[in-house]
Amino acid sequence: MSEPTPAIPPDPADSLAAVAALRRLADELEDAAVEQAMRSGWGWPRVAEALGITRQAVYKKHSRRLIAAGVELRRRES
Amino acid sequence: MSVFGDYLAAVIHRAQLEASDAGSAKVEAPHLLLAIAAQTEPSIDPLLEEFGLDVAAVRAALDREYEHSLNTVGVTTAAYDLPRPTRLPTRPGIGRSAKLAMERGFGAVTKKKGLRPAHLLLGVVCAEVGTVPRALALAGVDREAVLARLRQAIDTPTM
């Protein structure tokens, strides 16, 4: 038998707090994953496509942080 | 700068470090609460101590709220280990919840000269929804009692 699907929390405060917490978790995961990809030699276009966002958006959000972290940034992959 | 101006600048500076350490691009209300708890300030320290709101307790309460909120939809951070985010090289700006806290805290004062550290804490604690009230509730802190004591402190004239 399959397990019953959990219901959305009955209190809207819990549901909304879960949304906020998931956004924070997704942001933290994105920071770590983009850094990991760029350290592995990925270029911005590939990272952007994998995330489903534009190159400009991913560059704007992550470039300053990665430059400060000493990551070698590539426009294109060799 | 006024005494309160110095206090506010010190709290915001600390809150920016807290936000930056957490990988957050903006200073939000939880970062302000951590900064207030960390800042030595004789006019509110006894109140913070009375309710057990030292920086370690506030941090533990905020961490618990985060985990609890994720758990309500079946997600846990304990399932894997994320690396610490690399700090942003820039100072985080002031986010929506922190702005709201300041507007609420400072809103009750008619003259800027009347602002005191208790107003800032009042602004942070008076939010009825969001991370801060949820964290305080999970930590067993009586938010209404904190507010009552803060209002009492604000109404008491200083020397």
What residues are paired with B94 via a beta bridge? B27
pLDDT at B78 over 80: no
Q: Round to whole Å and give the CA distance between B30 and B124.
A: 8
Q: CB–CB of A34/A62 below 8 Å?
A: yes
What pLDDT score was predicted for residue B159? 45
Give chain B positions within 8 Å (CB) of A29.
82
Give chain A positions within 8 Å (CB) of B129.
13, 16
Residues A44-63: pLDDT tens digits?
A: 999 999 999 999 999 999 99
* DSSP states of B68-135: HHHHTTT--GGGS-PPPPPPPSSPPEE-HHHHHHHHHHHHT-SSGGG--HHHHHHHHHT-SSSHHHHH
Q: CB–CB of B73/A9 below 8 Å?
A: yes
What pLDDT score was predicted for residue A4? 66
What tokens appear for B135 in the block? 């964290």
Give chain B positions within 8 Å (CB) of A17.
65, 69, 72, 130-131, 134
Nearest CA in chain B to A11: B72
If one counts every other C-beta atom within 10 angstroms of the C-beta of residue A56, the result is 10
Nearest CA in chain A to B81: A29
Lowest mean pLDDT among A40-49, B36-45, B72-81: B72-81
Give the pLDDT band of residue B90 (cuts 50, 70, 90).
Answer: confident
* Max CA pair span of chain B: 54
Residues A7-39: pLDDT tens digits?
A: 788 889 999 999 999 999 999 899 989 999 999
pLDDT at B158 over 90: no
Q: Round to whole Å and give the CA distance between B70 and B108.
A: 35
One-letter amino acid for residue A64 of the chain: R
